A and B are shown apart, each in its own frame.
Chain A
């Protein structure tokens, strides 16, 4: 791009109630001569290879087109011509997880196109997670970008809660809580109705925005539950089978274990699918998920055969089957994709992302702040690696490159 740094502005776009006002604000700024180019960007929370990828992309294109048309109309009304309005969808080759991923993608895009300013829509929450915007602003503040939030009249907190509370999520959480209450209580006794409805309402008001990050949708949600029901006996069988294997190892007087820490990059979305997968991995004996850093799972394995099973990725395919359907389950194993690494022992291919190498003395926790600890994971990891092993640093850098579009 020929634009000089401060002349362009990037606006991450999503279908929010305040998108129109945000676009208007940006157009005004352009009319005042602050910027000459507007980039509307959708940061994709999906991958194009997902079965619904095409639909999601079409939705995103629709939103982004609307934003462009609004901006052009506003600029025409203001009598400003010759402004460059560009649109882009980035991040469709990978799942984006936390705010740091979104911030990184945005910063990379800005770098590439010589953009110096970011204007954020105050309601911008690309994964439907209400706590994303502030951490993302925090992440962006550590880049060279100039960040500002569009001064849009924000609906008050109370109204927001109410609009969310009438939604489908509220109904889902309310229904499930009430059902659970009646299973424990007596649905034929009037007093249980009063207390049950009261408790379910409280639960739904306080937790409906936290416990669900996607709205339950008709064909998908029951299908997922159905496919989950298919998965349960399979998982149980696996658990019993490999538990016997591990029981033999543990009861063996020689205790023939060979524990190592491993890293696997898994191709499932964040939130519920990731939880399902990592809990399944933990439940199958011999493997234990210790850490989920975005899409990288750090898995501790007790015996080599369990590690091999993990690298063959059958649980990953099952998780994809549950959440995305049968076609999505056909993919190469993590080993074939070269998404695996052993972090310890003679076969180690990568250094352990733990700062201390002194044999397990308890050190002070690396971070005091809860939110920061999560957000800075990637950075903290790379520093620790640099201390422990020179190779490690390059690995983390390689991870960062993946994020480039």
Chain B
């Protein structure tokens, strides 16, 4: 028998994974649909970070509070720190190379 606390934990895992899948789906849609590298960097850094964050939180819940679970938390923290930095680095490279951001009315690239 599963006690109620375990049931809550299980449904939290399911919910987190589904939310993570949703945000990663948003990120994928953005990366494919959006018109230029800057706006793609938005979803790549934000929706994807959140999606990965929720999925990793689910993994941490599954594993529980031992060494491996702690590693997952570190991984989560690390992704939250590095993903925006990487997106910033890429956007900065685009900026320095003189890629002009897309504005309304421009052709899609």
Residues of A within 8 A of B (CB): 180, 183-184, 186, 239-240, 243, 246-247, 250-251, 255, 257-261, 278-279, 282-291, 298, 300, 302, 344-345, 352, 354-363, 365-366, 373
**B65 CB, min distance to chain A CBs, angstroms:** 13
* CB contact under 8 A between A282 and B29, given known A298-B95, A360-B100, A366-B98: no
Interchain CA distance A275-B26 in the complex, whole Å: 26
> What per-residue 1/0 map shows which CB atoms of B24-48 lie under 8 Å from chain A?
0010011001111011011101110
Quick check: A284 and B46 within 8 Å, CB to CB? yes
* CB contact under 8 A between A363 and B98, given known A250-B26, A257-B34: yes
| Count of interface residues, chain B, beta-carbon cutoff 8 Å | 45
Task: With A243-B46, A247-B47 given, name 9 new contacts (CB 8 A).
Answer: A183-B74, A243-B50, A246-B42, A261-B101, A282-B87, A283-B84, A291-B91, A300-B91, A302-B39
Residues of B within 8 A of A (CB): 22-23, 26, 29-30, 33-36, 38-39, 41-43, 45-47, 49-50, 67, 70-71, 74, 80-81, 84-85, 87-88, 91-92, 94-104, 106-107, 109
Name the one of B46, B71, B87, B102 contacting A259, with C-beta atoms under 8 angstroms.
B102
Name the one of B30, B41, B67 contacting A250, with C-beta atoms under 8 angstroms.
B30
Quick check: B88 and A290 within 8 Å, CB to CB? yes
Quick check: B39 and A240 within 8 Å, CB to CB? no
Quick check: B97 and A239 within 8 Å, CB to CB? no
Quick check: B101 and A283 within 8 Å, CB to CB? no
Complex interface: chain A residues within 8 A of B99 (CB): 354, 360, 362
Interchain CA distance A365-B70 in the complex, whole Å: 43
Interchain CA distance A251-B14 in the complex, whole Å: 23
Q: Across the interface, name the chain B residue whose C-beta is closest to A278.
A: B88
Quick check: B100 and A285 within 8 Å, CB to CB? no
* CB contact under 8 A between A288 and B45, given known A184-B71, A255-B33, A282-B84: yes
Quick check: B42 and A285 within 8 Å, CB to CB? yes
Q: Across the interface, name the chain B residue whose C-beta is closest to A283.
A: B84
Counting chain A CB atoms within 10 Å of each CB, the highest count among B33, B41, B42, B103 belongs to B42
Complex interface: chain A residues within 8 A of B47 (CB): 243, 246-247, 250, 285
Q: Which 6 A-B pairs have the closest CB atoms?
A: A282-B84, A356-B98, A285-B46, A290-B91, A247-B26, A300-B38
Interchain CA distance A302-B39 in the complex, whole Å: 6
